[in-house]
Amino acid sequence: MTDPEPETGATDPRTAWDTPERCPFCETSLANGGSAFIRHVEDRETCRVAFESWRGRVASDIGGEWIG
């Protein structure tokens, strides 16, 4: 069983994510922080795993599901 690790163990995306037009996980430039970002994380396994982990952390922080 393979378990790909996010490359961003040291950086907390919640504080690093000050540029919506850039993926906070791999720093790839994006057309926008919405649909282009979603397409990006769906396309890149590493970022998808990191994003889902981040989203889970935020959801538990605010006590609800993050709806974007």
Amino acid of residue 68: G
Q: Which one of 2-10, 14-22, 24-32, 53-61 is the stretch in contact with Zn ion (CB under 5 A)?
A: 24-32
26 scored as a contact of Zn ion (CB under 5 A): yes
Which residue from 54, 43, 39 is spatially nearest to 7, judged by alpha carbons? 54
47 scored as a contact of Zn ion (CB under 5 A): yes
Using CB atoms, what's the residue nearest to Zn ion?
Answer: 23
54 scored as a contact of Zn ion (CB under 5 A): no
Would you say 45 or 61 has its CB closer to Zn ion?
Answer: 45
CA distances from 56 to 18, 52, 53, 66 (A): 19, 6, 5, 8
Question: Which chain residues interact with Zn ion by CB under 5 A?
Answer: 23, 25-26, 28, 47
